[in-house]
């Protein structure tokens, strides 16, 4: 799974957080401080045997313009972030790490905010990248005002699925979710199919005519059917469009069509009066990065899935 690239281009776009701890830039003579931080990041049973970074590597990083910043709590170096110059206009806030015993205290937000402020004050664009499954880092990125870097997308449009097309779609969708349940080793095939069918019937009780449901066949610029996207009014909020399906045919994947389809659905939902869009997405799904790139925010985080939401 590829990392998602985010950026902040102007200082006014940075959402500052209160810096409550000492943050210090490490110089050429501060290798011992950096290695102490690395040692604290190791599991306790491995700390005694941890050797750390060599002097030659530390000097090489300094010569290449990589600048490390460390946050201290109780006089211990517990969090880090570095500035990595990418080119003449972009510097990256990279290698963010908080030792396990100091997490969930806002230290990552503080040290990244401090670093990004320095980058923007230097007249550079601040970038940051992370895997879409790294939900802890996504929360930091979202809190500080980073926006995903958009790529050029191929155009798509949607047509409402017909009642004649719905049975084939239903059969495919039920089988796909049953396969996932089997992959998770949660059920036998018979039970997996039954559970999948039950959930599908809950979502589409009246098939393609289910009330407040918008089920689209996605078409590319050549009017070829390349996928499906669907949303319906959330049972928890009449103003929220809840995505129930987004899939692109294997022959048309890795071309940006999923993100284009999502943009189509957002525009369509907004036109229909919805003010937010949300969904439940599996973290190992190829669609997860698409939602991250489109600015959906994590509102609930689970081991295998997440609820994400976006204001339209």
Q: Using alpha carbons, select from 213, 211, 241, 217 the residue that is nearest to residue 229.
A: 217
Q: Fold identical between 4-148 and 157-311? A: yes
Q: Using alpha carbons, select from 167, 289, 169, 290 the residue that is nearest to residue 225.
A: 169
Instruction: Report the alpha-carbon distance of residue 16 to residue 107 in Å, rounded.
Output: 13
Instruction: Report the alpha-carbon distance of residue 236 to residue 51 in Å, rounded.
Output: 53
Domain definitions of the chain by residue range: 4-148, 157-311
pLDDT digits (tens, 9 = 90+) for 254-264: 889 999 999 99
The DSSP code for 223 is -
The answer to whether the beta carbons of residues 247 and 218 sit under 8 Å apart is no
Provide the β-strand partners of residue 157.
219
Contact partners, residue 295, CB within 8 Å, separation at least 6: 147, 148, 310
Q: Which residues of the chain have pLDDT under 70?
A: 1, 185-187
Q: Which CATH number fits domain 4-148: 2.120.10.80, 2.40.50.100, 3.40.630.30, 3.30.300.30?
A: 3.40.630.30
pLDDT given at position 187: 67
User: Does the predicted TM-score (pTM) go above 0.75?
Assistant: yes
The answer to whether the beta carbons of residues 289 and 4 sit under 8 Å apart is yes
pLDDT digits (tens, 9 = 90+) for 97-123: 999 999 999 999 999 999 999 999 999
pLDDT given at position 133: 85
Which CATH superfamily does the domain covering 157-311 fall into?
Answer: Gcn5-related N-acetyltransferase (GNAT) (3.40.630.30)
Pairing of strands 147-148, 76-85: unpaired
């Amino acid at each position: 799974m590829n990392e998602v690239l985010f950026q902040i281009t102007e200082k006014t776009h940075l959402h500052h957080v209160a810096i409550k701890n000492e943050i210090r830039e490490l110089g050429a003579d501060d290798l011992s401080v950096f290695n102490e931080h690395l040692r604290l990041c190791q599991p306790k049973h491995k700390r005694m045997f941890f050797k750390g970074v060599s002097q030659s590597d530390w000097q090489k990083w300094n010569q290449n313009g990589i600048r490390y910043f460390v946050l201290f709590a109780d006089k211990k170096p517990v969090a880090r972030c570095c500035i990595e110059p990418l080119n003449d206009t972009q510097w990256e806030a990279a290698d963010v790490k908080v030792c396990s015993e100091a997490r969930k205290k806002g230290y990552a937000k503080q040290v990244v905010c401090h670093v990004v402020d320095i980058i923007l004050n230097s007249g550079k664009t601040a970038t940051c990248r992370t895997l879409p499954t790294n939900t802890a880092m996504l929360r930091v990125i979202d809190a500080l005002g980073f926006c995903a870097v958009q790529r050029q997308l191929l155009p798509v449009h949607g047509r409402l699925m017909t009642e004649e097309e719905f049975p084939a779609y239903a059969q495919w969708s039920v089988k796909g979710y049953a396969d996932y349940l089997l992959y998770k080793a949660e059920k036998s095939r018979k039970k997996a199919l039954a559970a999948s069918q039950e959930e599908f019937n809950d979502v589409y009780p009246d098939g393609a005519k289910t009330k407040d449901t918008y089920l689209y066949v996605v078409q590319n610029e050549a009017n070829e059917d390349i996928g499906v996207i669907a949303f319906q009014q959330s049972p928890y909020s009449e103003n929220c469009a809840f995505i129930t399906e987004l899939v692109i045919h294997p022959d048309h994947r890795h071309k940006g069509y999923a993100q284009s389809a999502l943009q189509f659905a957002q525009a369509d939902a907004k036109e229909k009066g919805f003010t937010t869009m949300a969904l439940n997405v599996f973290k190992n799904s190829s669609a997860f990065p698409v939602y991250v790139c489109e600015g959906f925010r994590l509102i609930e985080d689970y081991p295998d899935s997440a609820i994400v939401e976006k204001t339209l």
